[in-house]
Chain A
Amino acid sequence: MSGDHIHAEPTNFFRKHVFSVDHKVIAKQFLWFGLIWLGIGGLMAMIIRWQLANPGDPVPVIGSFLFPATDGVVDPATYNTLFTMHGTIMIFLGLTPLLIGCVGNWAIPLMIGARDMIFPTLNMLSFWSVFLGGAVGLYSLFVPMGASEAGWTGYPTLSTTVNGLGSGETLWAIAVFLIGASSIMGGINYLTTIIRLRAPGMSWGRLPLTIWGIFFTSILNVLFIPVIGSAMLLLIMDRVFGTTFYVPTSVMQGAGGGDPILYQHLFWIFGHPEVYILILPAWGIIGDLLSFFARKPAFGYRIQIAAMFAVTVMSAVVYGHHMFTTGISAMLGESFMLLTMIISVPAEILFFNWLHTLWKGNIRFTTPMLFSIGVIFVFGLGGLTGIYLATIGTDIFLHDTYFVVGHFHLTMAASALFAAFAGIYFWFPKMFGRMMNETLGKAHFWLTVIPLTTVFCLMFVMGYAGMPRRYYDHTSSEYLAALQHMNTAATHAAFILGAAQLIFVFNFLKSRWFGRPATDNPWEVGTLDWATPTPVPHYNFKVIPTVHTGPHEFSHPALGEDRDWISMTEPLPGAESDGPDLGGGAVPTPAS
């Protein structure tokens, strides 16, 4: 809890390992949870790619086990379930637990110099709600009429009364609701902790960018997850109680009067901030890691924060770019187009600052650094392709084609996921007291980035050629059959991508128990989380540290020749008062 006193460590097995209120334990719970679900979602992706390249063929090896009723063949309804659950799982049960649940929980108290989160019990509840949500989602796969088939977006009226016979869709909505509750709890906890529990001297201008990223994400979580919560409640009511929020008059006998497009508005008012919820931690993490491994300050620290803030503020007003073909008015469409283009400006600014952080650095190409640079690469590709979709003239053709799939996989699956990997490789030594294998890490990186770029760039071509998404079989129409060769190529690359993740799994598991023991600060980084012993004691800091220096004072001239980093608890040599506060204040240096 807050305050200077240290609570005794729990001894009961359940309180220590299962229902723990220690943020470090909860972070690891989120880590295992997220990685396992990433694996499940990834397996679904492999099956989807198999079906696309070999329509109607039984899935090898695991097919007859997974789909016994059809002799291992994925049938069209199952296919729809697969991509629905793949999307839902990857976003809500994979990326969110990893980037926000794990990294947020691990990094926040340690980096700001606190003993734990400000509401530890709420923290524990946050993990167990996402766990429960995942359980409900898993259960929904086994109900008689199958799980949700309406896409992770769940548009009515496909997701309401017309398709409403089974409970799969309702369970899906309940799962999303529970997972959302977890994010709200986490958001409240993170915001209050960052505001109230910073150590003395840890001013806003000295916070690591990771914390800033998670701070802005938490604002969005707190404000916009409730929107999808309510949208899901309306959906559940339509399905279970026969209300007509989303069901129009022409579809119902007698009653009705609802609006399916209302759902799209509500969904995307949440949905667009959601993608920023996933990318803001990523931007924060690489903002720090690029500095740490280039051994120089994060370039334009304040501007990076301003850019993240601008994106946070604007995130909800661009949502209509998902709805350009739904029949919204011309004026509304053009406004969303303009706003969407404006919101790309802060991202451009971030690119400028990241590249400038690398420029004239002293770069250490560790695995976390490779993944951080990888984020710049894949986010560059993904972000630029957003321009095609923001522009209505091209979006009319490209909407609901593979172009969109390529775009969001590069921005979310690649960028956010690479940042998650970077974070895992980076914090692993402190979390588990061992180093992950560098060679395997580098192999993981290259064998991921190359096939991944191939798969999703192929999708840009497919989309340009007019191939719609969410199709079970492209060979059934002549126009699309001529594009089938691209499906085959993408599947081959996807299988390599999938296999490459096994390198990570092997490295992670092997290093967890047999890795080389890590020193307290193997990366030579000055943030407070590395100023702790390894393993980190349950109270984090015996004495709450006082901060004297910023997080990015690498290669500061005052440090001399034998070191290029300084702990945040140490004042810069020769500084009369405390060192730079806002990343650029006056520093007594000999030159400039």
Chain B
Amino acid sequence: MSTANTMITSLPKEELRHRVNSTLGMVFFIGSWSMAFGTFFLAFMILRQRVGVWPPEGISLPSFPLAIVATSIMIASSVALHRAMKGLSAGTDRARRDWVLTIALGLGFAVVQGWLWLDLMAAGRHPTSGLYESLFYGLTWFHAAHVVCGLLGLLWAWIGLATGRYGTHRLSTVNNIAMFWHFVDVVWIILFLGFFVF
């Protein structure tokens, strides 16, 4: 009996209640974390506005092509995750494959992110180099920490899914992890827009 195959709406009342409780807690958590990232973004906006000329002249900037690649990978991983979640409720076999794809793309993002940093450091721009670098490294490190947590969560969920050890209680946790990953993606998009577009 694989309860992972159960559609949400057909869950017994007890499990539905558990799902609502778990999701509600997660919503507050995401709200809290939005404020944390929001503070970073607020600092970014205030400092940027103070400096006036942005980006500051004469410094090497992080690689735009790499950033585009990172963003595409991140969005793709969210799409894969979304498909995986739908697959879980419908009970398809593709669900597990999509989950692995999500993790693989997430790792890919981490690699490109690392490349972005190395590339910038090779150009001599370190966290101590000035305000732009402080903001770039600071924000991306904070984001990266959450990517790591998200990946660990996705991995843990996948192990449970792969071994079929999931009751519907655990499914709430899987749902929460998925919400977190999407959140991490949205934060990246805002980061990308802030540093590379506007």
Contacts and interface: CB of A to CB of B under 8 A. Distances in A.
Answer whether A and B touch in the complex at a CB cut-off of 8 Å: yes
Interface of A: 2-3, 118-119, 122, 184, 187-189, 191-192, 195-196, 222-227, 229-231, 233-234, 237-238, 241-245, 254-259, 262, 265-266, 269
B21 A257 contact: no
A188 B35 contact: no
A213 to B, nearest CB: 18
Interface string B13-34: 0100110110011001101110
A192 B47 contact: no
Contacts of B17: 2-3, 196
B176 to A, nearest CB: 11
27 contacts: A3-B18, A119-B25, A184-B32, A188-B28, A188-B29, A188-B32, A189-B25, A192-B21, A192-B28, A195-B24, A222-B35, A223-B35, A224-B35, A230-B36, A230-B37, A230-B39, A234-B40, A237-B141, A241-B127, A241-B137, A243-B137, A245-B134, A257-B47, A258-B131, A258-B134, A259-B46, A266-B42
B142 A233 contact: yes
A122 B14 CA distance: 21
Contacts of B25: 118-119, 122, 188-189, 192
Interface residues of B, number: 38
A257 B49 CA distance: 11
B32 A226 contact: yes
B76 to A, nearest CB: 28
Contacts of B163: none
A121 B51 CA distance: 46
A85 B46 CA distance: 30
B21 A243 contact: no
A225 to B, nearest CB: 8
B21 A196 contact: yes
Contacts of B141: 237
Interface string B175-191: 00000000000000000
B194 interface: no
Contacts of B133: 243
A243 B134 contact: yes
A265 B127 contact: no
Query: Which are the 10 A-B pairs with shortest beta-carbon distances?
Result: A243-B134, A257-B131, A226-B36, A242-B128, A230-B39, A226-B35, A255-B130, A192-B25, A188-B28, A241-B127
Given A227-B38, A237-B138, A257-B51, 19 more contacts: A3-B17, A187-B28, A188-B25, A195-B24, A223-B31, A227-B39, A229-B39, A230-B36, A238-B134, A242-B126, A242-B128, A243-B127, A243-B128, A243-B133, A243-B134, A243-B137, A243-B138, A255-B128, A255-B131
A243 B17 CA distance: 47
A102 B51 CA distance: 46
A231 B28 contact: no
Interface in B30-75: 31-33, 35-40, 42-43, 46-47, 50-51, 56
Mostly, the A contact residues are helix
Contacts of B43: 230, 234, 245, 262, 266
Interface of B: 14, 17-18, 20-21, 24-25, 28-29, 31-33, 35-40, 42-43, 46-47, 50-51, 56, 126-131, 133-135, 137-138, 141-142
Contacts of A238: 134
A244 B131 contact: yes
Contacts of A187: 28, 32
Contacts of A230: 36-37, 39-40, 43, 142
A244 B134 contact: yes
Nearest to B31: A222
A226 B14 contact: no
Contacts of A122: 25
Contacts of A2: 17-18, 21
B46 to A, nearest CB: 6
A191 B36 contact: no
Contacts of B138: 233-234, 237, 243, 245
A187 B32 CA distance: 10
A222 B24 contact: no
Determine which residue in A233, A265, A269 has the highest number of CB atoms from chain B within 10 A of its CB, and name it: A233
A3 B39 contact: no
B42 A257 contact: no
B16 to A, nearest CB: 12
Contacts of A258: 47, 131, 134
B179 to A, nearest CB: 14
